[in-house]
Structure 1
């Protein structure tokens, strides 16, 4: 009887300590990343459209509902891209692609890998294309994500992140739709995360 009471007391103490420890850890995580955009450049217009690959800055804000489940909002500034047809530059546009994902975080031997899926909205602006050529200014599509946080100290971690984002726009000439340009980039990021 005494042994079972002692075991119960120890279990209660351990559970209480675990709750107290998780309660002291902030649910907010902010990361800053350098991200390489590699466009798939899929095109059904017969113009062989493509945009340039580039490095861009990215900031994301995560909120942890539990130690495993979090949501992440990915933000950047409008990115200017050169649009080419058959390898020849024909114009440019800017795109702003905020992305919201729901993530599941694992704990594996001190590192914290995660998987995520969500929604991307891209706003295309500052369009500079040949006369009569236009693109749809709004794109909605899914986003898939995998990454890992490698703790450097209690609040700081190294982050590696890989996303596939589906960004597509209809292309028109003189008001008539001629096809769809699929940017659908792979985004490879490296950066630092701060837990507050």
Structure 2
């Protein structure tokens, strides 16, 4: 995780030096936003041996992000947050199976284009996400449930609304292409190791307050 954060901030720092060396005007600005977000998976799964599908709960948490403006219009944003989700295998050949819950840590770096003019400034972005799965609770059936970390694409759109020269409101929506391979080592109920390809693909909607500095 520390390597991921180091690389992300190194990219932002390199872009800052590039902007200072190539632009006659200094449009460089840092922004910080604190959002409250809803993370809603658009889940599906291919479960070996027992069939069925997967159900993954939504999560509601705070999220922090930092944005660096390369020019007046182009920017890069690093998004940090963590969420907890309940997991259940549904409609399998042995019924519904409670697989406990798991934490997701999904640092995301997006590159954005910001439209200028007026107090309301919409933006569009795309980038990469690396999701780390940790703190899995196996639930009442499985001896062990593990998830592979995942690298995927992220897409973003939103709008900043200026309150004054420093503070602004923000509305943001993202879609992350997130897939993991899950392994369930089952107890007496199944007496088997079951593998599953799981698509999570969450939609993330957030609203918050931002500060320019």
1:32-47 mapped onto 2 (5 Å cutoff): 32-45=34-47, 46-47=51-52
Residue 117 of structure 1 pairs with residue 126 of structure 2: yes
| CA displacement 1:158-178 (0-9 Å, x = unmatched) | 100000012211123459663
- Structure 1 distance, partners of 2:129, 2:119, is 31
* From 71, 82, 86, the counterpart of 2:86: 82
Partner of 1:52: 57
Partner of 1:154: 165
Partner of 2:212: 195
Structure 2 unaligned blocks of 5 or more: 1-22, 91-95, 186-191
Count of aligned pairs: 175
Partner of 1:66: 71
- Structure 1 distance, partners of 2:181, 2:168, is 40
Partner of 1:101: 110
Partner of 1:5: none
Contact 1:105 1:115 in 2 (8 A): yes
Structure 1 unaligned blocks of 5 or more: 1-18
Which segment drifts farther, 168-177 or 150-159? 168-177
- Structure 1 distance, partners of 2:197, 2:117, is 42
Residue 168 of structure 1 pairs with residue 168 of structure 2: no
Residue 135 of structure 1 pairs with residue 146 of structure 2: yes
Give 1:32 deviation, angstroms.
Answer: 0.4
Which segment drifts farther, 89-98 or 174-183? 174-183
Give 1:126 deviation, angstroms.
Answer: 1.2
Give 1:127 deviation, angstroms.
Answer: 1.6
Partner of 2:100: 91
TM-score (norm 1): 0.81
Give 1:135 deviation, angstroms.
Answer: 3.2
Partner of 2:7: none
Structure with larger Rg: 1
Contact 2:146 2:184 in 1 (8 A): no
Partner of 1:11: none
TM-score (norm 2): 0.75
Give 1:181 deviation, angstroms.
Answer: 1.0
